[in-house]
Chains A and B, each alone.
Chain A
Amino acid sequence: MTDTERADVVWDAADLACGVLLLSLRGRMESMRPGQVLRLIAQDTGASEDLPAWCRLTGHTLVSAAPPVYMIRRKER
């Protein structure tokens, strides 16, 4: 099964970065149900460091990271 098939939501964030990326990401995760998986495509160079940190901060799970593709599972609550 491919990442796209496993994802409940797909978002191509293109070259959004830093706060612009993260604030929008927060909104998208909040609109998902607990346990759902987002397939995020983020081209910004800093995203490979920022997104794991963001997951640690927020409690969401970084399922996999293969830049520019990140699979993130929404936390339970």
Chain B
Amino acid sequence: MAARFCVNLTHSKDDPDRATVGFVLANAALGSGKETLVFLSIEGVRLANRGFAESIHEEGFPPLRELMDNFAKGGGTIYVCSPCFKKRKLDENNLVAGASIVGGAKLVEFLSDGNPCVSL
């Protein structure tokens, strides 16, 4: 059984439902003992900036900020797609806990050996 689990999250305020479910699923993997990565890409990279998720609270779920905080406290890792981040001119000095800006090789490395990844 793979020890790692990845969620590729491509949305933020453009689709709060997907953004929220991405972190709910990531927390399920983390809670199940998996080394868990959330890879933020495309519009998802906006979530890497502190404060951006504050206003996202999808009905039926905890606030996204709370889900992200719990993910970081639980030891989850967040990779942020470098070109997606730069393209949007976001602030690399204002990242949320657990986040780091990376290139594609870091994702490929994490997924090596057949580790699973779901995309939202």
- Please list the residues of chain A having a beta carbon within 8 angstroms of any beta carbon in chain B: 18-27, 50, 53-54, 57-58
Q: Residue among B24, B26, B31, B71 with the most chain A CB within 10 A?
A: B31
Cβ of B25 and Cβ of A26 under 8 Å apart?
A: no
Contacting A22 at CB < 8 Å: which of B1, B28, B67?
B28
Q: Which residues from B are CB-within-8-Å of A54?
A: 31-32
Give the number of chain B interface residues (Cβ < 8 Å): 19
- A42-B26 Cα distance, complex, nearest whole Å: 20
8 Å CB interface, B67-101 against A = 67, 70-71, 74
- A19-B24 Cα distance, complex, nearest whole Å: 5
- The 5 nearest A-B residue pairs measured at CB: A19-B27, A22-B31, A19-B28, A23-B31, A19-B24
Does B30 lie at the interface of the complex (its beta carbon under 8 Å from any beta carbon of A)?
A: yes
Q: Residue among B29, B32, B67 with the most chain A CB within 10 A?
A: B32
- A19-B23 Cα distance, complex, nearest whole Å: 8
